[in-house]
Structure 1
């Protein structure tokens, strides 16, 4: 697998940070925390979709295996960053971090790591 896909992950993090900043300064105060996070999640899914399209148009994946390798790499990097930064830098508890994964309580965040994982395969197909 090419190192360019590893580096491309940092572009996704830039999109995620910009999207979160827009949510926090733009519309969270008017909508409330849960609604803002839900909207922000949908926006990030769309941003990642556009990013994947551009990335895989410029650097096409060559096989199903490579698509799953890229997706798995990105998933691991995303989860390590999310839990590592969230716990040791932002000071969130493990309970808080895992709370973002409660789909049954309206948390849509689990769709992001899922899309990061399957997105390369979907765009390869």
Structure 2
């Protein structure tokens, strides 16, 4: 059963990844030209956090989990996958470690650490919103 949950959680994370890429495209093509870099990063980070929690809310019935330990495991799994993807993709693009770590400093309105916290907490928050916890 845990293998099925893990596979479903991986599929859901793939959907979150697609939303994150679309969110980045929206930020760069619409938000940055319209409201500038710092505000665009804040709006984009809040929007992505809300989208991740929304995906978790919609996917919980399919995941069929409600025990806190499972909710935390899925959230932390999504966080790990996100970090692995983020660092692997950045390194593949030739970015240095200091460049990659700059996203974690809140510099220029970048609230990426908030998005990561939202990612880890999303299944638990979604379960609370559903009244399951």
TM-score, with length taken from structure 2? 0.84
The within-5 A match list for 1:102-113 is 102-103=105-106, 106-113=109-116
Post-superposition Cα deviations, 1:47-76, rounded to whole Å, max 9, x if no partner, equal 112111101133331311111111111111
- For 2:84 and 2:107, locate their aligned partners in 1 and report how far apart those are by CA, in whole Å: 24
Q: Secondary structure at the match of 1:61?
A: coil
When the two structures are aligned, how many residues end up with a matched partner? 124
The within-5 A match list for 1:25-104 is 25-88=29-92, 90-103=93-106
- For 1:91 and 1:35, locate their aligned partners in 2 and report how far apart those are by CA, in whole Å: 27
Runs of at least 5 residues in structure 2 that lack an aligned partner in the other structure: 128-132
- For 1:101 and 1:15, locate their aligned partners in 2 and report how far apart those are by CA, in whole Å: 20
TM-score, with length taken from structure 1? 0.89
2:124 aligned residue:
121
Post-superposition Cα deviations, 1:64-101, rounded to whole Å, max 9, x if no partner, equal 1111111111111000000110122x222211111111
Runs of at least 5 residues in structure 1 that lack an aligned partner in the other structure: none
Segments of 4+ in structure 1 off by > 4 A? none
